[in-house]
Amino acid sequence: MPKTELRNLRFSDAKRIYEIVDNPNFVYFVKPLSLEAYKKLLIKKRKKGGLEYDHAILYDKKLVGNIGIKIDYHRSYVGEINYFVEEKFWGKGIATEAVYLMEEIAFQRLKLNRIEILMSPENIASEKVAIKAGYKKEGVMSGAVKDSKGEFFDVLLYAKTKKKR
């Protein structure tokens, strides 16, 4: 049975990740305009000093997507998960499994207390992932995200907190 796994994202994954993202059917906040722009983004993220963690999503040992968590600079106990999976793997539960795996990292290793997922209101698939993974809708954040054209738009906010034992 195929298995979903995470591994640290490698710079050598850039071409494959860009191929996945360069899909007109993706509903994605800020889509890199070229492979070179994506490589520059990876370099920039690595210089953030432990506030962003990116992982490759592997399904049956094949790279099929990306998941990351960005820790809030001002609230070091809060992280925001973002994810995407190659279109031909949509609907297989891979993104949901990846979210669960990232949660383990976030709550156990990074010691976060809260995880947020922001998504475009049009991204029904991402909303389904959040709901299936047990995240609760907290509302709409008006004008909270700026796209690559500099335009602001609304996003849905889903969140989950660490379970108290």
**Residue 123, C-beta contacts closer than 8 angstroms, at least 6 positions apart:** 27
- Residue 40's CATH number: 3.40.630.30
Q: For 59-107, how does the pLDDT look when each residue is reduced to its tens digit (9 = 90+)?
A: 999 999 999 999 988 899 999 999 999 999 999 999 999 999 999 999 9
80 within some domain: yes
Report pTM: 0.86
12 within some domain: yes
161 within some domain: no
Indicate if the alpha-carbon torsion angle 153, 110, 11, 87 is positive or negative.
negative
pLDDT number for residue 15: 86
108 within some domain: yes
135 within some domain: no
150 within some domain: no
Tell me if residue 105 falls in helix, strand or coil.
helix
121 within some domain: no
What is the pairing mode between strands 114-119 and 78-85? parallel
Low-confidence ranges of the chain (pLDDT < 50): 165
75 within some domain: yes
pLDDT number for residue 28: 62
Strand blocks (E) in the chain: 4-8, 52-59, 62-71, 78-85, 114-119, 136-146, 152-161
Q: Over the range 135-156, which residues count as b (16 or more CB within 10 Å of their CB) and which as e?
A: beeeeeeeeeeeeeeeeeeebb
Q: For residue 80, give its domain range.
A: 4-116
| % of the chain exceeding 90 in pLDDT | 58
- The count of structural domains within the chain is 1
- The torsion region of residue 127 among left (phi > 0), alpha (psi -120 to 50) and beta comes to alpha
